[in-house]
Amino acid sequence: MSVTTGHVKRAFKYRFHPTDAQAAELSRTFGCVRKVYNLALAARTEAWARQERVNYSQTSAMLTAWKKTGELAYLNDVSSVPLQQALRHLQTAFANFFAKRAKYPRFKSRKKARKSAEYTTSAFRFRAGRLTLAKMAEPLDIVWSRPLPEGATPSTVTVSQDAAGRWFVSLLVEDPAVKPLPATGTAVGIDVGLDHLLTLSTGEKIANPRHERRDRARLALAQRRLARKARGDGANRAKARQRVAKIHARIADRRRDHLHKLTTRLVRENQTLVVEDLTVRNMVRNRGLARAISDAAWAEFRSMLEYKAAWYGREVIAVDRFFPSSRLCSHCGILQERMPLHVRTWTCADCGATHDRDVNAAENLLAAGLAVTVCGAGVRPQRSTPSGQSATKQETPRREP
C-alpha cells in the first residue's frame, strides 16, 4: 500500500488459469528471476567481503554481461523486466539491511522460495479487462472475483504460484474509493488472546475460530503420507507435498478472510485503536503455545489493522509489551503482585472491584494508549501500588495471554 497524488495505491489479487504454454513460460521466468537474484546477491556479498559496495546500476550492467555468456544465454528467452525488478528488490533488501530494518539478504531456494515475477507497464498490455504479459500471445484467463476501480489502469502486475500449485495475478492500481472516513471520536482497547481471539475494552469478546484445529486430522494424515514417501520418489513425493500445501492454503485463506472482516469492522467503528506491542516471533518459541499462537495470527491482525487505519484516517497506538495490563486494577490502579494464567476473574483487594481478566486488560490498554496521545509517544501512565511504588518500576512481567 502506498499513497501518491492523494490516492491510495492498492493491490487487487485474482486467481487465473494459465494455458500449458503460459505456465511453461512463467515457470521459466520464475527460475530466471531466482537465478538473477542469487547471482547478484553473490556478487554483492563478494564485494562486501572486500569492503566494497555494489549498487543496482552495477548489478544491471552485470546482468547485461551475463546474458552474453553461453552458460546464461537462456536469460534472453524471458522478459527482461522481471529480471530487472529482481535486482531492484535486492537493492531494497540491502537498503533495509543497511538501515537496520532487516537481516542480511538470503539466497532464494528453488524449493522454498516464493515463485513470483513482477512486470511493469512496458512488459504487459491491459485493455478492456484483458491482461497480456510480455512473451505471451494470449491474455491470461483471470477469474474476476471482484471488479477493479472504474477506469483503473495497473502500474505493476505481479504473477505468482503458491505451494499448492494455484496461480495468482496481483494488479497495483490507484483506488480513489479509499479515503478517510468521518471521524467517530470513539476509542477501543484490544487485548489479543487464545481462549478468545480479541477482547475489547467495551466488554465484547470475539471467539477464536481456531482454523487450524478444524483441519488438524486431515493435515496430520497428509503429512504422514508425505513422510512415508522416499526422497528419491520425485513425482509421488511432489504430489504428497502438494496435498499438504493445499490443506495449509485452505486454512490460511479462512484465517485471512476472517481477519479482513474483523479489522475492517474495527477500523470503521473506531477512531483510535490501542493494541499491545507484542513480539510474536519470540513468543512462538514456546513449544507448548507455538501452534495456537501461529493459528491466531496476531502479527497479521496488527498489520491489517495498521494499513487499513492509514487508509481510512484512523490511529493505531501500540502500548509497551511490558505494560502489566492484566495485573492492574482498571478502577483504582493498584498493581497485583501475581496473576497466574489460570486466573480468569479476580477481585481487587483494595477497592473490591471484580474483573474479567481480559476485559480489564483491554481497559488498561485503552487508558495507556490515550495517555500516550496526551503525554507523547512512549509514555506510560503511572499507577500506584499497595506499597506506593510506580507500576512501571515493578519487575518486568511475562507476556500474559
Specify the long-range contacts of residues 63-66, CB closer than 8 Å, at least 24 apart: 63/36, 63/87, 66/36, 66/39
Residue 195 is a catalytic residue? no
Q: What gap in Å lies between CA 274 and CA 363, rounded to an integer?
A: 10
Set 25, 358, 363, 400: catalytic member: 358
Query: Please, what is the end-to-end C-alpha distance for the chain in angstroms?
Result: 31
Q: What gap in Å lies between CA 51 and CA 269, rounded to an integer?
A: 53
Task: State the alpha helices, DSSP H only, in 50-179.
Answer: 56-67, 80-98
Specify the long-range contacts of residues 99-106, CB closer than 8 Å, at least 24 apart: 105/41
Which residue type does 79 have? S
Residue 356 is a catalytic residue? no
Set 25, 212, 276, 306: catalytic member: 276
Helix axes 80-98, 56-67, angle to 10 degrees: 150
Set 191, 212, 295, 400: catalytic member: 191
Lookup: cell for 121: 507497464
Residue 215 is a catalytic residue? no
The residue with cell 531492484 is 88
- DSSP bridge pairs for 10: 173
Strand residues in 166-305 grouped as ranges (E): 167-175, 187-192, 196-200, 205-207, 272-276
Q: Given the DSSP bridges, would you call strands 124-127 and 196-200 parallel, antiparallel or unpaired?
A: unpaired
- C-alpha to C-alpha distances, 125 to 110, 130, 156, 360, nearest whole angstrom: 29, 8, 11, 55
Catalytic amino acids?
A: 191, 276, 358
